A and B are shown apart, each in its own frame.
Chain A
Amino acid sequence: MAARALVQAWGMLLALSFSTTALTLVDRPGATRMGIAVLVLVLAGVKARIILARYLGLAASHFWTRAFDVALGLFIAIAVAIYFIGKGG
């Protein structure tokens, strides 16, 4: 992959990481906290997808991009489900 595309992927990862950190600075109990937790988990999934597609080169294969999307989506969905079982503290 071209250097420019790699740097762009890095920029996206940093932006998402800063967004995640900014989100967790908001500390309100209840539904807001739960919503933030779900958003943080989804952002983690987006970051993982960027690493898989851009750095690990899966973007070149439609099949494997889909396969890892499904696996990653399943992982995040299960994580969110278990989180809600804990009722957000």
Chain B
Amino acid sequence: MSDRTRHEARSTVAADDDGWGVLGELPGDFMMWVLIVSELLVFSAALLAMLAVRAGDPVRFAADQAMLDRTAGALNTIVLVTSGLCAALAVEARSREARATARRWLAGAGLLGIVFLAVKAVEYTHKASLGIGVETSPFFTFYYLVTGFHAAHVVAGLVLLGLVAVFDSVRNMETAVAFWHMVDLVWVLLFPIVYLVR
């Protein structure tokens, strides 16, 4: 067997050992990507269903939507996007072995996540004081369903960020932070559809 043939054979074995094809190009943990895609599909379906509710009765939808606090929603966009940056910087710091710095960035991301939830709680409390609940209208049913489900993901993300601050391998941190970015990603799609599109 020539050197060239041996080299090609080794390359084929290496490719077969990998065995993931394009799936191997996904950064981080593959199962986290399965979760991310699943969550994106669920939220996408819910948001499109909400737009379908609007198509059924645009006037009522607009009237209900006008009762939302857009300023709070916009503030939460800035908070969550900034939190995503902190989380990304945590991974960047951890990958160059700056573990204490990584933990500080994770703490920053977590604190901003808590701020997000606090703003959301203020919004919910205000709606409750006006007597607005899940059964007020189809718009508010979807509003509570979609934003509540998203808030539950923020809570789950906070737990994950806390866990990887302790068990801080690079892989753990990448995986938890990928989940946090998914939460961020969902919000940038959710906010305009729920709060802004008139």
Contact A89 B59 (CB under 8 A): yes
Residue of A nearest to B81 (CB): A13
Residue of B nearest to A60 (CB): B27
Residue of B nearest to A7 (CB): B85
For the complex, is B47 an interface residue (Cβ under 8 Å from A)? yes
- Chain B contributes a number of interface residues (CB within 8 A of A) equal to 43
A49 vs chain B, min Cβ distance (A):
10
CA of A41 to CA of B191, assembled, Å:
10
CA of A14 to CA of B140, assembled, Å:
28
Among B115-123, B154-162, B164-172, B177-185, the stretch in contact with A: B177-185
Contact A58 B198 (CB under 8 A): no
- Chain A contributes a number of interface residues (CB within 8 A of B) equal to 44
- State whether A56 and B197 are in contact (beta carbons under 8 Å apart), knowing that A1-B92, A17-B77, A88-B58 are contacts in the complex: no
Contact B193 A75 (CB under 8 A): no
Contact B28 A57 (CB under 8 A): yes
Residues of A within 8 A of B (CB): 1-3, 6-7, 9-10, 13-14, 17, 20-21, 24, 27, 33, 37, 40-41, 43-45, 47-48, 51-52, 54-58, 60-61, 63-64, 75, 78-79, 82-83, 85-89
